[in-house]
């Protein structure tokens, strides 16, 4: 009974490769941003703060705008 479902529980190979690629990319981005902040800290705390703010500010603004747009679109559809 357990042998019949053994092959069905596995994820497709292409999905696993895609997932591993995305995870490696996210780790690489995190390391890059950490290193960028570290390198900017050699020029002082205010420069490091500006650098890290410049990295995160567009992401925060796009998340806020995207959330508002998503709420309006989903409300209009229902």
Q: Are residues 37 and 18 in contact, defined by beta-carbon separation less than 8 angstroms?
A: no
The 10s digit of each residue's pLDDT in 30-51 is: 999 999 999 999 999 999 999 9
Helices (H), the chain: 13-40, 45-77
Q: What pLDDT does residue 3 have? A: 55
CB-based contact 36:51 (threshold 8 Å): yes
What pTM was estimated for this model as a whole? 0.63
Burial class (CB in 10 A: 0-12, 13-18, 19+), 56: exposed
């Amino acid at each position: 009974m357990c042998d019949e479902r053994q092959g069905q529980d596995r994820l497709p190979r292409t999905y696993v490769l895609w997932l591993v690629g995305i995870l490696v990319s996210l780790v690489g981005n995190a390391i890059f941003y950490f290193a960028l902040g570290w390198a900017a800290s050699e020029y002082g705390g205010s420069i490091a703060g500006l650098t890290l703010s410049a990295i995160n500010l567009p992401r925060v603004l796009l998340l806020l705008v995207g959330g508002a747009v998503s709420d309006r679109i989903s409300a209009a559809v229902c």
